[in-house]
Chains A and B, each alone.
Chain A
């Protein structure tokens, strides 16, 4: 079984400042890792994913994340945020190798302040 912990439920940050949203996971098997974003009244949209290879993954909208196997972390970063980045962000894992269900964290609400 897998579990995901998102350490911050809310992160307020000023526009153009950098941001890091933290995600730690637990799993007895190797995993794929994902970050999704959810805007109000919308479904989840994939930001980026780690399947294998380079541990630094770049996604859409200027986001990136780094897989750290020893620390079982997959933190999401953006060097300069915009008002439009205000949303709920979810980290998720699934067992690697085949299509399986995603296990999500409880989410981090990112609020970008003017």
Chain B
């Protein structure tokens, strides 16, 4: 499968714990995006990378959220000291420089439940 993959698919954690999610983009894509989707809403943009550079992070929800893409390939999203309000689906998407402008390909998401 050459699509965007995300791991884990589901994560249940207790309030106050730290969690980390991984996203593997389509291999030739240099842009990678993170979104959060809560129940009944559309995805909400969090941050994006071009190669290893994080070009937009002002939309990260708080300083408990951080993302990395150290080698310009896979990315991780970490949430520290989780709160019940962090329960949501976290989506990753990737896109390439050439071809279809701004067409973002989405992964299946990681569903986080904070107890």
Contacts and interface: CB of A to CB of B under 8 A. Distances in A.
Interface of A: 4, 32, 34, 36, 41-46, 49, 51, 90, 92, 94, 99-107
Contacts of B107: 43
Contacts of A100: 102
Contacts of A107: 40-42
18 contacts: A36-B106, A41-B108, A43-B91, A43-B106, A43-B108, A46-B104, A46-B105, A51-B101, A51-B102, A90-B42, A90-B43, A99-B97, A99-B101, A102-B43, A105-B42, A106-B42, A107-B41, A107-B42
A4 B104 CA distance: 18
Nearest to A90: B42
A101 B91 contact: no
Interface string B83-114: 00000000101010100111111111100000
